Amino acid sequence: MRRYVLTGTPGAGKTSLLHRLSELGHSVVEEAATEVIARAQAQGEDEPWTRVSFIDEIVTLQRQRQQEASGATALQVFDRSPVCTLALATYLGHPVSPALGAELERITSEGIYERQVLLVRSLGFCEPTPARRISYQESLVFEKVHEETYRELGYELIDIPADDLPHRLAAVMSVIAPPTS
């Protein structure tokens, strides 16, 4: 089982890449944080990320989705991972909870994700949404936190530069499904 992670700043185009990969027949797993935010906002909570328990809700959904996807296909692409959740906790100033620590240990000891992580670079702007209330400048700081977090945990970041979708898709495909010669 090969599980690749797409990471990067909010608004960088990870979801567009993921949708295109899905259209091409690849198994993909959507980001958990956006769903956690949407659920909380639907219940009237405007800024769920201010709660420390927010991180654990993301970790729980990430683990559930990863386990549900196990065995689906030999190749899967995930929009973010628990390492991203660690970066989010760091960025928000939240402590590393026991649940997050345990999940980070599990994904490392079980080798859940490939050590090569696809870092989707900023497109040069960040459109706000109800779930994404971050300025472009803040998004660049957040991107840096992701880079540092993945590197500190020994992952190799594969740069997916700002470009149009077909070129970015080609860059992703060259890593996850390189042509055989």
Full-model pTM = 0.92
Residue 93 pLDDT grade (very low, low, confident, very high; cuts 50, 70, 90) = very high
DSSP letter for each residue of 43-60: TT-S-GGGSTHHHHHHHH
Q: For residue 181, is it within any domain? A: no
Domain that holds residue 87: 2-176
Q: For residue 76, is it within any domain? A: yes
Domain CATH number, residue 82: 3.40.50.300
What is the token pair recorded at 135? Answer: 């300025």
Q: For residue 36, is it within any domain? A: yes
19-65 pLDDT per residue, tens? 999 999 999 999 999 899 989 999 999 889 999 899 999 999 999 99
Among 68-82, 103-117, 139-153, the minimum mean pLDDT is found in 68-82
C-alpha radius of gyration, the chain, whole number: 16
- CB distance 95 to 55 below 8 Å: no
Q: For residue 142, is it within any domain? A: yes
Q: For residue 45, is it within any domain? A: yes
- Total tally of structural domains belonging to the chain: 1
- CB distance 38 to 173 below 8 Å: no
